[in-house]
Structure 1
Amino acid sequence: MSNLTLLTSLRISDLQNFSSSLGFITNLRNLTDLVIRNALVSGPIPTNINRLEKLETLDLSFNNLSGPLPHTLMNMSSLISLFLGNNSLSGSLLPDKSASLKNIDLSYNELSGAFPPWVIPSWAMPNLQLNLVANNFKFDSTNISIFPGLNCLQRDFPCNRNTTPYTSFAIKCGGSELRSNDIQFDTENSTALGPASYYLFQDKWGVSNGGIVIDRDDPSFIATSRIQVNNTRYPQLFRNARKSPGSLRYYGLGLQNGPYTISLYFAEIVFSLSRNTWQGHGRRVFDIYIQGKREQKDFDISKEAGGVGIALVKNFNVRVIRNHLEIHLFWAGKGTCCIPERGDYGPLVSAIRVSPGFKVKGKSNKTGIIIGVIVGVASAGLVVLIFGLYLRRKTSKDDEEEGNNYNILGMGPKINTYTYAELKTATADFIPSNLLGEGGFGPVYKGILNDGNTVAVKQLSVASHHGRNQFITEISTISSVQHRNLVKLHGSCIEGARRLLVYEYLENKSLDQALFGKSNVRLDWATRFNICLGTAKGLAYLHEESRPRIVHRDVKASNILLDAELCPKISDFGLAKLYDDKRTHMSTRVAGTIGYLAPEYAMRGHLTSKADVFGFGVVCLEIVSGRPNYEEKLDSEQKYLLQWSWNLYESNRSLDLVDPSLTYFIEQEATRMIGIALMCVQASPSLRPAMSRVIGMLSGDIEISPVTSKPSYLTDWDFNDTTNTFFNEETPMSSETTTMATNTTTTTTSINDGSLREGR
């Protein structure tokens, strides 16, 4: 594409099996609008982007861009609209901008720091739109007045958490306040809610919009019905609606935690009723996300309602766990973009109602009752105090032995709790046909909850020597981190000796099953490269961005799961150990899987994030080669993947490592992946790159240094094990034996003389 130098408009969206950096765009100097949205673009924004001297609209939202904003970017004299929302951009806002730049969306990034002078008059200038929702800015009395309500819409959504929580709200999207069916719908008809904007209603709920219609001047973001809406007793709810060409989010702030029902009111009121002419064939297709989880993909209002002008109410059950609710309507890039109704292809919603799924306690003004309660409490206080002292030790001991959901959830962010009966029903009494695999803590089963959601249920083995402690660690750790490339924990169950974790269900199971022929999934080269890059991003987040920082300790192919789009998600944080910024390493009991263990960790228990880097290097070689790190049936020089990879590298035949089943691969990318993998498996941790640097090298933004030193563990150890004692289950074990679990089997290794024999 970099050779299309006469191109004036380039628009790419909704790519799932492709990744790229942005280096190619700087040759396209005739571009007036550039949209690469929802397309897995990674790396930094080029510093020489100002070479695009004619560029008016730049939309790079919903990608994986990282690094600071280039100083040249906002000074481009021709640029009018800039959309960089939903990336991983960091640093602060730039100190100045050009006068032509009118629409700026930087929402859902990692920006922080002080506000530059150019933002101060922004709210006094109706032609300037600036969306900074879901960043890390800090607010005082001065900048709160500059950005009213924005302090409530930063990443932790802090407002109303320390006040009496409310339990419901309703919004008339795109319209004035009205009462319908005894429900009061709040006004949400601000005409200022444009391409890059947000609005907050009484610190109770908010809305954020991002997106622009390039082909039409001054599009309206409110739709007014041209027709009578049918299939409803309340047509007034559907006379107008809020619409967006890109991304529309609604928030509930300060809700009481618990189960809720979200009702979304839809009706297609823009496209024509006629199906006999071309004007009647418009298609509006978007996705619906609740609390960050996609509940419906490719939602088409008129198709699901049965036609244009027909009311439709969609209900979703959700659990609020941190007093915060997010409803996201997202145009991924499908449907009608231009005709018959130019610019009317994105999300459209008429109203929203959020109602509790629990009994709301009423308030009483009866003085007698209040006084009675106070007197009763005071009278019982002394008894409670004495009895509490008696129970204190007993309770502490009971909690230590058995545990309960309340204490576990109190250690970190709150998550869903399930009863054992619920999970037993969901998994059909843990029937073997629902078994997904055997993890280090016990079996994992597929389950379908009462609300229809499919989940993966990890049943913690009662025989585990570290069950409860590691169970609590896993809950507190996983619930505190969220990333595209990490498996999400939905909830937990602990009843007596029963302990279970409930994860999101990944349709395509684990990477080792896809790579080594244990499933029907076939991985082409582009998918393999994206899996490698996505895994690197997940690890980089754990090592460098999450709080607390996390070392996984068991990075392997069976701990990388694949979703419906074959996006990788790292699983099983149960072996994770937390460390702070000041500690260079920690010595710990070795836990992991043979073949992926870094030498310093296997032999001395010396653990840093570089142990994960080593495991990633092994996985990267497995992805390239399509084979496990040890394969008994191969010739002796090929049995051990690391040994074979180095032999090929030293003889300048690295590409012979590529999986022969691939009919096509990109040599440059394969060479890059192999070179990076060999850097990651260096014997010395200091010679291994950090995962953030691995991302840069994979993306082509950082040059790969030549690997010259063959690791000592390969040159010193004898890999010609003619007796096959490495894998003999009857090999005597020493008293210092460590047990490590793979996805389906348990392997025992002996550590007795300061060295660890290596195998899979």
Structure 2
Amino acid sequence: MSLQFEVSSLIIGRFWYYMKLTDANFSINCGGPQMMGRDDILYEAEDSALGPATFSVTSTEKWAVSNAGLFSDRNTPLFRVNTLAQVTGTDVTPELFQTSRVSPGSLRYYGLGLENGPYTVTLHFAETVYESRTSQTWQSLGRRVFDIYIQGTRRTKDFDISNEAGGVKRAVVKKFNVSVSENYLEIHLLWVGKGTCCIPDQGDYGPLIAAVHAASDLTPIGYGLPPTTPGKKSRTGLIVGIAVPVGVVSLLLIFAILYIRRKKSKKEDNEDILGLGPRPNTFSYAELRAATKDFNPSNKLGEGGYGPVYKGTLSDGRVVAVKQLSVVSHQGKSQFVSEIATISAVQHRNLVKLCGCCIEGNHRILVYEYLENKSLDQALFGTSNLHLDWPTRFNILLGTARGLAYLHEESRPRIVHRDVKASNILLDAKLSPKISDFGLAKLYDDEKTHISTRVAGTIGYLAPEYALFGHLTEKADVFGFGVVVLEILSGRPNFYNNLDPEKIYLLEWVWTLHENDQTLGLVDPRLTEFDETEATRLIRAAFLCTQGSPMARPSMSRVVAMLSGDIDIGTVMSKPSYLTDYNFKDVTTFSTGRFLVEDDTPSTASKHSNVHLNYQPEGSNASGANTVGVDPTPSPVNVTQSLLTSIIGEGR
């Protein structure tokens, strides 16, 4: 019983102390009636008719006002401004600014009987007398300049309301931290003869203020509590004694539950994103926004099905490529997980380096090293000023082959890229190649002969067995590399409508040249000099890489040896059946595009799985040029319109 009495008395004491602190604050609607502000503060009326020398104390005796000065150049001196102007730029009630107190010289407000300690003084101003300076008339030349003193110390010199607010009829709020030591507060606005005096009318000068608010910064509960008097129990004390602790504990529990749920959700999200590989460096979304200047379109490098890519500069000066996952792309999220897991697990000089990622909230962002020469397809087919001579092109092919050989045979687990094409080969400052965009990559178990999966990649680079049946091995990458070899040699994309009909499809055209003993006619006419022996060897290697049967294609390590001249390529096989069996002139609808997937199902079975093709066309220009992250104009060299229609129509 005694303990309950003590707790109740303590809480009652704190409650009344809190009420006392609340009464110690004061708010004034200068020159106007009493009004409740949007901030739930009651602004008391201060609408008395002040004279040239007046001191007035409010009826509550919480504050007082003093004016000194006379507008000698006015026939009817007024110390109050009334206006119907709608003041903007404030969260406080606009009606507060329809009246303001003005003085020709000195205007003071006093807080009386205050608690000693720290206070926050808030002063509200709005210039409602002068014209806008943007009107550029003589009436807009008026300037109101005065000083602000608090507790006898000048806190603001030459204060100009309209200049501070950025225009007239715009509110500006000034906050000051002050200390009350003798139970009173003095706010002094003083005109020292600066500014103008007679524009737009006689006597338009001196300090002007719309509202004043002063609040104690003392913590109400637990700060300097007055002693309680034993024996004065009450029903109110019991209610407060129970309600306050219960309310506080309830709020704490609610915040704790929300915090734990948020932490758990974030942890699960991180595990989902980062569970497939070593944790990369992470960036905050705010850091990447600052690096890309709020993802400014001027920093945009390109955009594909995954999302846009921006150039950015980190706080440490590093220049990076920021790849932003499209929020609406469910498939893109799975690609994001795959790309982080893949890139984090592999390191090779011919693979693009992942600097880190962002997994904050719904944001999914990859941060790569920035390669100033962008992608190979831009250099070959676009408007780039890069000159790719023969040695450079040869080294690009050799470096790309080495990067793929590392993915297929040296990394653990083995990796199939699934989207080998010119736009996914980036060039550094020395024009060395780096394979990028692992969003479609598949991890490949050494014990599996193949993976049966839905088709993902770009038409024109898809191996026949993969495009038709979803039968995926590293030989699918070998096929795509063979197409890239021919594109680099010819300097044209694998599908190009602006050429003669027999040249539209690159693979068909090069086989026609080969059958007519004109193989070197494929070489880019921009190459004034090239090594015929090396060119012939590259074309034969491309023929082997693009054979219809995956068993007939060499491994990438063997391709590296072929390109280097370490092994003999031998006799080239016959023309693939996918070129002889289908009429390419029938292909009209599926000339561009990309196959994409939402999920994949690995399998060790030898049977072929069903193929589900989601066709999403992507933009490209006539020349086949593309920016980073944008698919080049592809060629349906391994499928026809009728075949694709039958697959989609049957739901296979």
- Scaled by the length of structure 2, what TM-score is found? 0.52
Does 2:619 align with 1:753? no
Does 2:579 align with 1:714? yes
Tell whether the 8 Å contact from 2:493 to 2:633 is kept in structure 1 after alignment.
Answer: no
- Give the 5 Å matches for 1:195-344: none
CA deviation vs aligned residue, 1:698-744 (integer Å, no higher than 9, x gap): 000010021131111100110123x8334389xxxx98534476843
State the distance in 2 between where 1:746 and 1:538 align: 21
Could you say if the C-alpha distance between residues 678 and 393 of structure 1 is closer, same or farther in structure 2, counting changes exceeding 3 Å? farther
Q: 2:265 aligns with which of 362, 384, 398?
A: 398
For 1:632, the equivalent position in structure 2 comes to 497
Q: 1:478 aligns with which of 343, 351, 356?
A: 343
- Give the 5 Å matches for 1:173-188: none
- Amino acid aligned to 1:480: A
For 1:737, the equivalent position in structure 2 comes to 614
Shift of the alpha carbon at 1:396? 11
Q: 2:359 aligns with which of 468, 477, 494?
A: 494
Shift of the alpha carbon at 1:416? 1.2
Tell whether the 8 Å contact from 1:459 to 1:500 is kept in structure 2 after alignment.
Answer: yes
Tell whether the 8 Å contact from 1:411 to 1:476 is kept in structure 2 after alignment.
Answer: yes
- Give the 5 Å matches for 1:560-639: 560-639=425-504
Could you say if the C-alpha distance between residues 728 and 506 of structure 1 is closer, same or farther in structure 2, counting changes exceeding 3 Å? closer
1:693 is paired with a residue of what secondary structure? helix
Could you say if the C-alpha distance between residues 608 and 399 of structure 1 is closer, same or farther in structure 2, counting changes exceeding 3 Å? farther
State the distance in 2 between where 1:494 and 1:633 align: 44
Shift of the alpha carbon at 1:431? 1.2
Shift of the alpha carbon at 1:553? 0.3
Tell whether the 8 Å contact from 2:281 to 2:357 is kept in structure 1 after alignment.
Answer: yes
Tell whether the 8 Å contact from 1:543 to 1:550 is kept in structure 2 after alignment.
Answer: yes
Shift of the alpha carbon at 1:581? 0.6
Tell whether the 8 Å contact from 1:591 to 1:740 is kept in structure 2 after alignment.
Answer: no
Q: 2:284 aligns with which of 406, 410, 419?
A: 419
Could you say if the C-alpha distance between residues 397 and 614 of structure 1 is closer, same or farther in structure 2, counting changes exceeding 3 Å? farther
For 1:725, the equivalent position in structure 2 comes to 589
Does 2:351 align with 1:459? no
For 1:515, the equivalent position in structure 2 comes to 380
1:403 is paired with a residue of what secondary structure? helix
1:725 is paired with a residue of what secondary structure? coil
State the distance in 2 between where 1:727 and 1:397 align: 47
Q: Provide the identity percentage.
A: 66
Does 2:343 align with 1:450? no
- Amino acid aligned to 1:677: A
Shift of the alpha carbon at 1:393? 12
Does 2:525 align with 1:660? yes
Q: Return 5+ residue gaps in structure 2 as ranges.
A: 1-253, 594-610, 619-625
Shift of the alpha carbon at 1:403? 1.7
Shift of the alpha carbon at 1:755? 9.1
For 2:399, the equivalent position in structure 1 comes to 534
Shift of the alpha carbon at 1:413? 2.1
Tell whether the 8 Å contact from 1:625 to 1:659 is kept in structure 2 after alignment.
Answer: yes
Could you say if the C-alpha distance between residues 690 and 407 of structure 1 is closer, same or farther in structure 2, counting changes exceeding 3 Å? same
CA deviation vs aligned residue, 1:612-642 (integer Å, no higher than 9, x gap): 0000000000000000001100000000000
Could you say if the C-alpha distance between residues 745 and 612 of structure 1 is closer, same or farther in structure 2, counting changes exceeding 3 Å? closer
CA deviation vs aligned residue, 1:539-597 (integer Å, no higher than 9, x gap): 00000000111000000000000000000000001100111111111111111011111
2:580 is paired with a residue of what secondary structure? helix
Runs of 4+ with >6 A deviation: 390-397, 746-750
State the distance in 2 between where 1:665 and 1:581 align: 40
State the distance in 1 between where 2:423 and 2:588 align: 24
1:561 is paired with a residue of what secondary structure? strand
State the distance in 1 between where 2:370 and 2:279 align: 20
State the distance in 2 between where 1:475 and 1:568 align: 20
Does 2:362 align with 1:469? no
How well do the aligned residues superpose, as a CA RMSD in angstroms?
3.0
For 1:642, the equivalent position in structure 2 comes to 507
State the distance in 1 between where 2:439 and 2:538 align: 28
Could you say if the C-alpha distance between residues 613 and 630 of structure 1 is closer, same or farther in structure 2, counting changes exceeding 3 Å? same
Does 2:551 align with 1:674? no
Tell whether the 8 Å contact from 1:437 to 1:744 is kept in structure 2 after alignment.
Answer: yes
Could you say if the C-alpha distance between residues 562 and 746 of structure 1 is closer, same or farther in structure 2, counting changes exceeding 3 Å? closer
- Amino acid aligned to 1:555: V
State the distance in 2 between where 1:728 and 1:416 align: 37
Could you say if the C-alpha distance between residues 640 and 746 of structure 1 is closer, same or farther in structure 2, counting changes exceeding 3 Å? closer
Could you say if the C-alpha distance between residues 631 and 530 of structure 1 is closer, same or farther in structure 2, counting changes exceeding 3 Å? same
State the distance in 1 between where 2:259 and 2:515 align: 66
State the distance in 1 between where 2:383 and 2:324 align: 23
State the distance in 1 between where 2:365 and 2:382 align: 30
Task: Tell me: higher relative CO, structure 1 or 2? Use CA pairs within 8 A at least 6 residues apart.
Answer: 2
Higher helix share: 2
Q: Count residues with an aligned counterpart.
A: 362
- Amino acid aligned to 1:462: V
Shift of the alpha carbon at 1:468? 2.8
State the distance in 1 between where 2:263 and 2:465 align: 38
Shift of the alpha carbon at 1:471? 1.3
Shift of the alpha carbon at 1:649? 1.0
Tell whether the 8 Å contact from 1:585 to 1:607 is kept in structure 2 after alignment.
Answer: yes
- Amino acid aligned to 2:519: S
- Give the 5 Å matches for 1:354-373: none
- Amino acid aligned to 2:265: D
CA deviation vs aligned residue, 1:25-69 (integer Å, no higher than 9, x gap): xxxxxxxxxxxxxxxxxxxxxxxxxxxxxxxxxxxxxxxxxxxxx
Tell whether the 8 Å contact from 1:655 to 1:671 is kept in structure 2 after alignment.
Answer: yes
- Amino acid aligned to 1:403: D
For 1:441, the equivalent position in structure 2 comes to 306
State the distance in 2 between where 1:745 and 1:641 align: 17
State the distance in 2 between where 1:728 and 1:553 align: 18
Tell whether the 8 Å contact from 1:531 to 1:567 is kept in structure 2 after alignment.
Answer: yes
Could you say if the C-alpha distance between residues 496 and 705 of structure 1 is closer, same or farther in structure 2, counting changes exceeding 3 Å? same
Could you say if the C-alpha distance between residues 510 and 746 of structure 1 is closer, same or farther in structure 2, counting changes exceeding 3 Å? closer
Tell whether the 8 Å contact from 1:539 to 1:691 is kept in structure 2 after alignment.
Answer: yes
Tell whether the 8 Å contact from 1:740 to 1:747 is kept in structure 2 after alignment.
Answer: no
Could you say if the C-alpha distance between residues 393 and 548 of structure 1 is closer, same or farther in structure 2, counting changes exceeding 3 Å? farther
Tell whether the 8 Å contact from 1:506 to 1:562 is kept in structure 2 after alignment.
Answer: yes
1:502 is paired with a residue of what secondary structure? strand
Q: 1:432 aligns with which of 273, 292, 297?
A: 297
Q: 1:688 aligns with which of 553, 574, 584?
A: 553
Could you say if the C-alpha distance between residues 457 and 550 of structure 1 is closer, same or farther in structure 2, counting changes exceeding 3 Å? same
State the distance in 1 between where 2:312 and 2:287 align: 10
1:495 is paired with a residue of what secondary structure? coil
CA deviation vs aligned residue, 1:158-177 (integer Å, no higher than 9, x gap): xxxxxxxxxxxxxxxxxxxx
Could you say if the C-alpha distance between residues 736 and 708 of structure 1 is closer, same or farther in structure 2, counting changes exceeding 3 Å? closer
CA deviation vs aligned residue, 1:628-678 (integer Å, no higher than 9, x gap): 001100000000000001111111111000000111000000001000001
- Amino acid aligned to 1:398: S
Shift of the alpha carbon at 1:482? 0.2
Shift of the alpha carbon at 1:518? 2.5
For 1:336, the equivalent position in structure 2 comes to none
